[in-house]
Amino acid sequence: MNLPYQPVSQDSAGLALQQNRVLRNTYMLLALSMVPTVIGALVGIQMQFSFLAGSPFMAFILFLGIAWGFMYGIEKNKNSGLGVALLLGFTFFMGLMLSRILQVALGFSNGGSMITLAAGGTGAVFFTMASIASVSKRDFSNMGKFLFVGMIVVLLAIVANIFLQIPALSLAISAAAVMIFSAYILYDLSRIVQGGETNYVSATLAVYLDIYNVFVSLLHLIMAFTGERD
């Protein structure tokens, strides 16, 4: 039985082309953003960078202020080259902040292997979620509210544990963060594939933060369970 030929409309073809372009540009800018992150981390390690180590709460508040300032500037300028420049500056800053946990990891005899394992695990999570987002026809936008609530709960738990200093709570926060931000990778990439995000700078910022948080949380868990002192 022959089915009638149904040509693809120009609107559908144009939308698909735009989605592919946004996804491709997001992956390219995401790869580029890892360069200043690595540079920032190496600079921080060499300088033994410590961000207000004597006052964890003030350090956390100041970090959030700087990070949100960068993110506001990136979003305001996402349609210009300045947005890309601010994004790369932000990733350098995040690399500096990352250097603190890397210094702690390198204090273990198996520090290098733990960092490699965390990076490999983060890469596996990213590629798994990217594959699901690309292949699946399902719309994951309904996850947004649930994930946002989960992220707020994690932030509140982090603030609480700055004062409580409970190791078990710290591990629970890291485990929850790995799950939430892994799901956020799927959610953010799915929005690009489904056409919900049309700006690759905004998309890169969102996915970068997801990957960053998965890596940091995963490294914290790996250090807690497999760290070896000399």
3-class secondary structure per residue, 14-75: HHHHHHHHHHHHHHHHHHHHHHHHHHHHHHHHHHCCCCCCCCHHHHHHHHHHHHHHHHHHHH
How much is the pLDDT for 11? 59
Tell me how many domains the chain contains: 1
> Does 132 score more than 90 pLDDT?
yes
The pTM is what?
0.91
How much is the pLDDT for 18? 76
How much is the pLDDT for 25? 94
Residue 8: DSSP 8-state: P
Mean pLDDT of 193-214: 93
Bigger pLDDT: 64 vs 19 = 64
Mean pLDDT of 113-138: 94
Residue 3 belongs to a domain: no
> Does 14 score more than 70 pLDDT?
no
Residue 131 belongs to a domain: yes
Residue 4 belongs to a domain: no
- Considering the chain, what is the average pLDDT of its residues? 90
Structural domain including 198 reads 18-226
How much is the pLDDT for 50? 83
Mean pLDDT of 192-199: 86
Residue 103 belongs to a domain: yes
How deeply is 53 buried, as exposed, middle or buried, from its count of CB atoms within 10 A (0-12, 13-18, 19+)?
Answer: exposed
Token pair, residue 162, equals 């700055």
Residue 22 belongs to a domain: yes
Residue 11 belongs to a domain: no
> Does 13 score more than 70 pLDDT?
no
Distance, in Å, from the CA atom of 115 to the CA atom of 128, rounded to the nearest integer, reads: 20
DSSP string, 153-207: HHHHHHHHHHHH--HHHHHHHHHHHHHHHHHHHHHHHHHHHTTS---HHHHHHHH
The C-alpha R_g of the chain, in whole angstroms, comes to 20
> Does 129 score more than 60 pLDDT?
yes
Mean pLDDT of 156-180: 95
Residue 1 belongs to a domain: no
Residue 5 belongs to a domain: no
> Above pLDDT 70, what percent of the chain?
92
SS3 of 136, please?
A: coil
Number of residues assigned to the chain: 230
